[in-house]
Structure 1
Amino acid sequence: MNCSSIQLNDLPNENLVLIFKNLNNINLLYSIIGVNKRFNEIAHDSMFTNCLTLFGYLTNGYIYPLPKLMLDRFCLQILPEIHHKINWLDLEPLTMKRILLSANYPNLTGLGIVNIEKQTALNLLMDETLVHVFKNQISSLVIETINQYDKSADLDTRLFTCIFDIFTNLKYLNFDPDFICHQQISFVISPPTMFSSTLLELDVKPKLPNLQCFSLYCLSEIHFYDEVISMLHRMSNLEELSLYLSVNCNDRFIDGNDLKQNIINYMLRLNLFHFDFRLKAKQGYCHIYSYPFTARSYENIANNFSGGLFTCVSKVTLFDEYPFEHEFFIRIAQSFPFMKFLTITNRKPQNDKQYRKLKNNNQDLLIINYPHLKYIHFKDTHDDYVEQFLLDTKTILPYDVNIYVDYKTLKRVTHNIRRNATQINCYKATYQCFDRIIRFPKYFKDYFHDIKLHIL
Structure 2
Amino acid sequence: MTTITMKSFFDYNFSMDDRVLSDICGNILPQIHLYITKLIIEQNSIERILTINYPQLYSLSLINFEEKILFQYLKDHSILRDLINQITYLNIDIQNAIIPQLSEITSNIFALILSLTKRLIHLNFCHLFSHRRTWISIYYLPEISHMFSNLTQLKINVETFFDCLYLLDGLVRVNSNYIDGIQLNDDILIHMPRLKKFAFSINTGAIIENTKIRLQSNEDIRNSFIRRRYGQVGSYVFFKQMEEIGHCHIYSLPYQFEHFFGLSNSFHFQDVIYDKVRRLTMNDIALPFEHQFFKLISYYFPFLKELTIFNGEGQKDKQDSLTLIIFPHLIFLDLNSHVDYAEQFLLAKKTHLPCLLDLCITYESLTILTNNFITDPMHFNCSQIKKLHINEPFVRPKTFHKYFPLL
1:89 match:
39
Q: Which has the higher helix share?
A: 1
Give aligned-pair identity as a percent.
29
Q: Which residue of the other structure, out of 109, 113, 131, is the alignment partner of 1:163?
A: 113
- CA deviation vs aligned residue, 1:211-267 (integer Å, no higher than 9, x gap): 11112224xxx3x42342132138xxxxxxxxxxxxxx7855322232233223333
1:359 match:
none
In the alignment, structure 1 residue 313 sits paired with structure 2 residue 277: yes
In the alignment, structure 1 residue 366 sits paired with structure 2 residue 327: no
1:290 match:
252
Q: Which residue of the other structure, out of 363, 371, 378, is the alignment partner of 1:415?
A: 371
Q: Structure 1 pair 280/399, CA: closer, same or farther in 2 (3 Å)?
A: closer
Q: Which has the higher strand share?
A: 1
**Aligned equivalents of 2:198 and 2:90: distance in 1?**
20
Deviation, structure 1 residue 205: 1.7
Residues 197 and 217 in structure 1, CA contact (< 8 A), matched pair in contact too:
yes
**Aligned equivalents of 2:81 and 2:369: distance in 1?**
63
Q: Which residue of the other structure, out of 332, 346, 350, is the alignment partner of 2:315?
A: 350
Matches within 5 A, 1:185-224: 197-201=134-138, 203=141, 205-206=143-144, 207=146, 208-218=148-158, 222=159, 224=160
- CA deviation vs aligned residue, 1:250-303 (integer Å, no higher than 9, x gap): 855322232233223333443332211111122211011111112222222211
**Aligned equivalents of 2:206 and 2:122: distance in 1?**
33
Deviation, structure 1 residue 140: 1.7
How many residue pairs match? The answer is 356
2:401 match:
445
Deviates more, 1:61-70 or 1:410-419: 61-70
Please report the TM-score for the alignment, with normalisation by the length of structure 1.
0.67
Q: Structure 1 pair 69/261, CA: closer, same or farther in 2 (3 Å)?
A: same
**Aligned equivalents of 2:330 and 2:45: distance in 1?**
37
Please report the TM-score for the alignment, with normalisation by the length of structure 2.
0.75
- CA deviation vs aligned residue, 1:117-168 (integer Å, no higher than 9, x gap): 2222222222363245445422222221223599895323432232122112
Residues 145 and 178 in structure 1, CA contact (< 8 A), matched pair in contact too:
no
**Aligned equivalents of 1:70 and 1:351: distance in 2?**
56
| Unpaired runs of at least 5, structure 1 | 1-47, 184-194, 235-248, 357-361
**Aligned equivalents of 2:125 and 2:161: distance in 1?**
19
Matches within 5 A, 1:156-305: 156-176=106-126, 183=131, 197-201=134-138, 203=141, 205-206=143-144, 207=146, 208-218=148-158, 222=159, 224-233=160-169, 253-282=178-207, 283-305=245-267
Q: Which secondary structure state, in structure 1, belongs to the residue aligned with residue 201 of structure 2?
A: strand
Q: Which secondary structure state, in structure 2, belongs to the residue aligned with residue 173 of structure 1?
A: strand
- CA deviation vs aligned residue, 1:43-81 (integer Å, no higher than 9, x gap): xxxxx17xx66xx74435353256457546645x64444
Residues 113 and 143 in structure 1, CA contact (< 8 A), matched pair in contact too:
yes
One-letter code aligned to 1:396: H
| Unpaired runs of at least 5, structure 2 | 208-244
Report 1 or 2 for greater relative contact order, CA contacts < 8 Å, sequence distance ≥ 6. 2
Deviation, structure 1 residue 199: 1.5
**Aligned equivalents of 1:330 and 1:176: distance in 2?**
32
Residues 110 and 125 in structure 2, CA contact (< 8 A), matched pair in contact too:
no
One-letter code aligned to 2:250: I
**Aligned equivalents of 1:302 and 1:414: distance in 2?**
28
**Aligned equivalents of 2:351 and 2:45: distance in 1?**
48
Deviation, structure 1 residue 373: 2.1
Instruction: State the superposition RMSD in angstroms.
Output: 3.4
The structure with the largest alpha-carbon Rg is: 1
**Aligned equivalents of 1:318 and 1:340: distance in 2?**
14
Deviation, structure 1 residue 175: 1.6
